[in-house]
Amino acid sequence: MKDEAFDLARQWRDDPALFVGDLRAATDWLLQNSTELTEADAASPGARLLPLKLIAEALSRLNPLHEALAKYAKLLKTSKLPPDLFGPLIQTLANAATASESPADAIQFAGLADISESLEKTQRWADKQIRLRGEEGNRSELLKTTIEEADDGLHVRTDENGSLKLRGSTNIPMFLAFFRNPKHRLTIDAFLDIDRTVKPTNLDRHRVRLSSKLHDVLIEIISDKDGYLMRTYREGMSTR
């Protein structure tokens, strides 16, 4: 069964602009469809009023983001955005949706200002990541390696006249994952997420199998703290 929350979290990890854009779209919708309350009418600072008829749509927008944020926090442990960012708001809306009687045709909710502030900080982080990626250039150039599609596989070519055709649904995503991660490094969790059928006990064997193929093009994968690192192969110095 497809894990849509996990798929969305992976897209966010790979594209910081998409990550911020999806979250901001939800907050913009709430701002546009709710009204600001005066200090005298607000039950709490910054409270806004949302029509009860829009609660179902609000939850349909927020719930998938809430679920994906929990997955995202595991994929990118350096994220400063709390995985429960939308949790209190969702709970407020859900309680109103299940209430048997409502004295009004709208519900007060708070916390949108705090959410917007968190997104502003995340926007600055995303802008920095995008800038750094631009400065890094093509990671395949850093390793002096090019990747070419070839029928049912990939040709990996280096400046040492080596080439290798990687086949299989496991090796190709895993190899490409190293190229889209900073410093060509994957944590153990991220490594496992590439092929969710791999058990932790078989992870090192899986890594060695890929590494042995990459030796043909002078690239290796080594253990690195809590994860793995892909680097140019150093003859006589491999820690594989």
pLDDT at 239: 46
Angle at 201 between CA 199 and CA 205, to 5 degrees: 95
Helix or strand holding residue 22 (H, E): helix 16-33
pLDDT at 240: 42
Give the rounded distance of the alpha carbon of 169 from its chain centre: 21
- Burial classification of residue 149, based on how many CB atoms lie within 10 Å of its CB (0-12 exposed, 13-18 middle, 19 or more buried): exposed
CB 62 within 8 A of CB 90: yes
- Across the strands, what pairs with 220? 231
Beta strands 227-232 and 48-51, pairing class: unpaired
pLDDT in tens, the chain (240 residues): 668 898 899 888 878 888 999 999 999 999 999 998 877 777 777 789 999 999 999 999 999 999 999 999 888 877 778 899 999 999 999 988 776 555 568 888 988 989 999 999 988 888 887 776 665 555 565 566 667 666 666 677 666 555 666 665 556 667 777 777 777 888 887 777 776 677 777 777 777 777 777 766 777 888 887 788 888 776 655 444
Tokens of 104: 């009004």
What is residue 41's three-state secondary structure?
coil
CB 157 within 8 A of CB 163: yes
Q: What is the DSSP string of 124-192?
A: HHHHHHHHHHHHH--HHHHTTEEEEEETTEEEEEETTS-EEEE-STTHHHHHHHHHTSGGGEEEHHHHH
Contacts for 79 with CB less than 8 Å, ≥ 6 apart: 72, 73
pLDDT at 144: 64
